[in-house]
């Protein structure tokens, strides 16, 4: 491990870079009077705050404010100690309870609408899910309804994703949980498992001490502002459990079966999820076993080919989606801005310690590392590479505060490498950032 002064210097450099990224991301559009189209023209507002797909709309007190502040203070004071002292199963239970409470309290700052208004949006999935009849017909016609030129083209979010996400909401509708609020609660309950899955993966790879150091940051993440009721957080939970199962499979091979099925499901929920394969490779390298690879790959391929046989071929749909994307608002979003504007969005979502954690990872990588640090370096480094590829692709211009939610927990594990003295006040900075974003901005997710 690098010396404490070296780690501290790296962490401070990361914080300095964070300030620069945020100043550029939020400042450039205003300083240059540059319309970067962070929101669609039909939703244009003088209160826009690019790069966020949201509005400046302070709401300084709501039903969730008191519990959110209470959780923030209690977490700041006690989370690190509890994460070290609790037995493992107790830590997992506490992490889930804390994550769910954090998500719900932040969402409820806006009252019950904080759990319902997003999924009730006509551009989201629920309205379409309520209209779905025959599933076979849905899959057969899915690709033909992606283009803007189609008379019955899909709403924005449905068109922008494979049918797996829509089918999840169709399932909720058919079991009686298709109301805006009910569906929002279900999505939040599932999204809150992401922290647990990440901890399970770390421990399965022999990095329990890193898991315990990272746990407070995974639970009290600023990404919670965007996770509650976001379908992308649901996708992130599916992928997180896929990676957790893959990590477990390096010890017991049969876990590769659910890992593959979950990866396949994730790919059928978001076109960006094949990039998570890089993190999957990092998991296998960290676990020092390639035996799970053919089993997991076969499981994922079975899901993808099963959908193809039923009428939806992922490889046929993606080029059509690219055409729609660049026929729409993407053509108005200047790539020169969004390469760093996206990173500013990611910092808002993952929190102000993001670049400090990654800088600490770089400093650690340049020194002889303990096995635990090696695991963290592999996971966070592969996640950083995934983000870089997604940013360079041009398919993620704006809205990445939610689109990149599946990558956030694997970036957050880098916080386990921060200097000891950073962990308490750093957590305070993270929760403060979450409270500020939730109370000052109207977030569209």
pLDDT in tens, 77-86: 999 999 999 9
Regarding pTM above 0.85, the answer is yes
Q: What does the chain come to in residues?
A: 445
CA distances from 111 to 104, 106, 125, 180 (A): 10, 10, 22, 14
Structure tokens at 213: 């150091």
Rg of the chain's alpha carbons, rounded to an integer? Answer: 21
Nearest 5°: the CA angle 269, 275, 281 is: 120
The predicted structure's pLDDT at residue 41: 61
Alpha-carbon distance of 445 to 401, in angstroms, equals 9
Instruction: Indicate the DSSP class of residue 48.
Output: B
* Structural tokens at position 276: 């998570």
Helix (H) or strand (E) holding 214: helix 208-219
Residue 55: phi and psi, rounded to 5, are: -135, 150
**In this structure, what are the phi and psi dihedrals at residue 353, rounded to the nearest 5 degrees?**
-85, -5
Nearest to 126 by CA among 115, 137, 136: 115
Cα angle 236, 240, 244 (rounded to 5 degrees) comes to 175
Q: Rounded to whole angstroms, how far apart are CA atoms 31 and 48?
A: 14
Distance of CA 319 to the CA centre of its chain: 24
Cα separation, 318 vs 189, in Å, equals 30
State the CB neighbour count (10 A cutoff) for residue 282.
23
Name the nearest CA neighbour of 186 among 169, 199, 174, 198.
169
What's the CA gap between 300 and 314, in Å, rounded? Answer: 13
Q: Are 106 and 113 within 8 A, CB to CB?
A: no
**Max Cα distance, the chain (Å):** 63
Q: Are 68 and 103 in contact (CB under 8 A)?
A: no
Are 118 and 188 spatial neighbours (Cβ–Cβ below 8 Å)?
Answer: no
Beta bridge partners, 55, equal 48, 442
Q: Hey, is 303 helix, strand or coil?
A: helix
Residue 371, pLDDT score: 76
Q: Is 309 exposed, middle or buried (0-12, 13-18, 19+ CB in 10 A)?
A: exposed
Q: Which helix (H) or strand (E) holds 55?
A: strand 54-56
Tokens encoding 307: 């959908």
What is the reported pLDDT for 2? 61
Half-sphere exposure of 150 (CA within 13 A, CB side): 16
DSSP 3-state assignment of 36? coil
- Which of the residues in the chain have pLDDT under 70? 1-3, 41-45, 369
Q: What's the pLDDT at 55?
A: 92
């Amino acid at each position: 491990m690098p010396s404490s002064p070296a780690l501290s210097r790296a962490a401070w450099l990361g914080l300095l870079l964070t300030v620069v990224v945020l100043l550029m991301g939020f400042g450039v559009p205003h300083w240059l009077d540059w319309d970067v189209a962070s929101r669609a023209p039909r939703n244009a507002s003088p209160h826009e705050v690019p790069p966020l797909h949201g509005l400046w709309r302070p709401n300084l007190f709501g039903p969730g404010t008191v519990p959110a502040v209470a959780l923030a203070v209690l977490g700041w004071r006690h989370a690190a100690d509890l994460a070290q002292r609790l037995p493992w199963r107790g830590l997992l239970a506490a992490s889930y309870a804390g994550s769910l409470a954090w998500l719900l309290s932040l969402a409820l700052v806006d009252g019950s609408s904080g759990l319902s208004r997003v999924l009730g949006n006509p551009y989201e999935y629920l309205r379409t899910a309520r209209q779905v009849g025959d599933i076979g017909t849905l899959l057969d016609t899915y690709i033909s309804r992606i283009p803007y030129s189609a008379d019955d083209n899909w709403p924005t979010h449905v068109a922008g994703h494979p049918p797996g996400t829509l089918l999840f909401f169709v399932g909720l509708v058919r079991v009686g949980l298709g109301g805006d609020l009910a569906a929002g609660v279900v999505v939040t309950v599932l999204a809150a498992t992401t922290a647990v899955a990440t901890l399970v993966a770390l421990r399965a790879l022999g990095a329990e001490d890193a898991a315990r150091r990272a746990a407070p940051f995974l639970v009290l993440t600023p990404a919670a502002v965007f996770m509650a009721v976001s379908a992308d957080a649901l996708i992130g939970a599916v992928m997180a459990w896929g990676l957790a199962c893959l990590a477990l499979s390096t010890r017991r091979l049969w876990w590769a079966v659910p890992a593959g099925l979950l990866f396949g499901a994730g790919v059928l929920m978001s076109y960006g999820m094949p990039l998570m394969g890089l993190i999957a490779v990092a998991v296998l390298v960290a676990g020092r076993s390639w035996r799970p690879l053919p089993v997991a790959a076969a499981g994922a391929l079975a899901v993808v080919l099963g959908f193809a046989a039923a009428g939806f071929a992922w490889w046929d749909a993606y080029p059509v989606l690219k055409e729609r994307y660049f026929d729409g608002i993407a053509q108005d979003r200047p790539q020169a801005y969004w390469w760093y504007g996206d990173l500013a969005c990611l910092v808002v979502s993952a929190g102000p310690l993001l670049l400090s954690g990654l800088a600490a990872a770089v400093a650690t990588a340049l020194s002889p590392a303990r096995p635990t640090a090696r695991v963290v370096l592999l996971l966070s480094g592969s996640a950083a590479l995934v983000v870089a590829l997604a940013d360079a692709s041009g398919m993620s211009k704006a809205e990445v505060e939610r689109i990149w939610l599946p990558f956030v927990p694997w970036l957050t594990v880098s916080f386990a490498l921060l200097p000891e003295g950073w962990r308490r006040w750093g957590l305070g900075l993270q929760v403060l950032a979450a409270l500020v974003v939730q109370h000052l901005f109207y977030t569209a997710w």
